[in-house]
Structure 1
């Protein structure tokens, strides 16, 4: 399992795709620093930067890039067959891949969110955003790893979920928020450090329970899907 994780991390950081992880964190911290440097009232820029850019764009996009990258490329080029021939339980393969995705996505999103939250309000808010980002990284990564096993266009499907389901329907259709990872993350951060800059639309029990369902459900489904690859002997 550790060997699979090491190979996955080396392959992920060896691709140009990893360069896509840098612009959004830099933009988030840069905007927060500029607003703080020019004494702009956090009430005016806090929500658009922290939620609109940080939790609604940075966290899911980074998780999408990483989550679809740890396994999707191997499915596309057929090298997944070589992994399946190893005497490893399919569960261990998925856990190793998912573990790498969560660590990379969480670190890439949590650190700049901590800095931006500190600049906007306080270290406590920064810590709340970072903690919520870690939870979100688990849920998003599990979802996007599963998508990479279900379709050859996981990035497109992931963008539909982020932009249409969370971005569009989440604003105007209240029922869709129950299945929105973004709303779970906002609620968790708001409950850890209550502030007017954050406004969760779902209750904390819903955020915790549904977040756990996303992680466990997608992980179990990914293991089951990977087993079907070995049975069918193909990657489609």
Structure 2
């Protein structure tokens, strides 16, 4: 497992797509500095920066880029057949790759989230939203790794999911919030930070239970789907 994780990390960090992870975190911090330096109160800009830019855009987009890359690139170029030809349980391939995706996504999101939280209200808010974003990284990464195995167009489908479901429906239609990863992450960030600046739309028990359920379901889907691949890279 450690070998698979190392190869995945080296390949991921060596690809150009890794450079796509940098603009959003930098932009988020820059946007937060503008109202802070102009003297605006946190209540005036926290929702737009932390929620709209952070939890609605930065976190899922980074997870999409990374999650679809840890297995998707190998499927596209055919190198997955080399791994599949070996007598390795499929979960021992999926799990380390997923852990790499989670680690890279969580680390990429943690830095801007902490900085913006600290700028807005101090270290407690920064740490709280890092906790929430880490939970979100786990769930989103699992979803997008599974999506890279289920579809030949995982990035396109992932963008539709991020924009339509997480970006629009979960914020406009109250009934969809119980099925929104964004809402789970926000709720956990809100409880961890104990800050009045964040608003949550689902209860903490729902957020915790649904986070576990969604992660386990999509992990099982990913393992089973990879198990259906033949050494030619096609599903059987």
Do the two structures share a fold, i.e. TM-score over 0.5? yes
The runs of at least 4 aligned residues of structure 1 exceeding 6 Å deviation read none
Residues of 2 paired with 1:235 and 1:187: CA distance? 40
Match of 1:47 in 2: 47
Match of 1:214 in 2: 214
What do residues 154-178 of structure 1 show as CA deviations (whole Å, max 9, x unaligned)?
0111111111011111122212111
Q: Is the 8 A contact 2:64 2:144 kept in 1?
A: yes
TM-score by length of 2: 0.96
Match of 2:234 in 1: 235
**Given the alignment of the two structures, is residue 12 of structure 1 paired with residue 9 of structure 2, yes or no?**
no
TM-score by length of 1: 0.96
Q: Is the 8 A contact 1:144 1:158 kept in 2?
A: yes
Residues of 2 paired with 1:123 and 1:110: CA distance? 13
After superposition, residues 181-196 of structure 1 pair within 5 angstroms as 181-196=181-196
Q: Is the 8 A contact 1:75 1:235 kept in 2?
A: no
What do residues 8-59 of structure 1 show as CA deviations (whole Å, max 9, x unaligned)?
1111111110000000000111111222222111111111001010111110
Does the residue aligned with 1:70 lie in a helix, a strand or coil? helix
Match of 2:132 in 1: 132
Match of 1:157 in 2: 157
Q: How many residue pairs get matched?
A: 235
Q: Which moved further from structure 2: 39-48 or 96-105? A: 39-48
